Amino acid sequence: MTELTIPTVKQIPWVELANQILLDIKKIQSYYGEPITAIYVDNLLRTMQTLRDRSPYEPYTEVFMALHDALAASNRWLDYKPHQYQGVYDVITTFINSQLANEDVEKAILALEELGFDTLPFGVGFIDLENDD
């Protein structure tokens, strides 16, 4: 009987993916306003999705997915300016080499919000039926 062998798939550590994210953010900042920026944004969003798929329970993933949503919703990546991308780069580099607690995740996401990124773009609006005039 022939033994079935399954090829070994190399797992890319989340830090390697985070470094790719940082590189793409720098490229987006550098090429702001040029058509090639869309290629770097596409790569950035795909890398964030890969990170989510491979490390869904890492605290860092929550921060990256908040950024993902802020960029992907209605192509809002077009609305953000180079200084905001630099701010994202700074936020990520401050936490990338440390252990994040839940409180740190919240602080990182709030820092993104303070930079002007809408990290909850898929919110639901409610109608107040009691005060409907």
* In contact, 48 and 21? CB cutoff 8 Å: yes
> Can you give the pLDDT at residue 97?
74
Q: Which residue has the higher pLDDT, 81 or 97?
A: 81
pLDDT tens-digit readout, 51-76: 999 989 888 899 999 999 999 999 99
Q: Which residue has the higher pLDDT, 62 or 128?
A: 62
1, pLDDT greater than 60: no
Q: Average of pLDDT values for 83-101?
A: 90
Share of the chain above pLDDT 90, in %: 63
> Can you give the pLDDT at residue 121?
82
* Average pLDDT of the chain, as a whole number: 88
* In contact, 37 and 28? CB cutoff 8 Å: yes
Per domain, the residue ranges of the chain are 14-114
> Can you give the pLDDT at residue 112?
97
Assign residue 33 a region (left: φ > 0; alpha: ψ between -120 and 50; beta: otherwise): left
pLDDT tens-digit readout, 95-114: 887 888 889 999 999 999 99
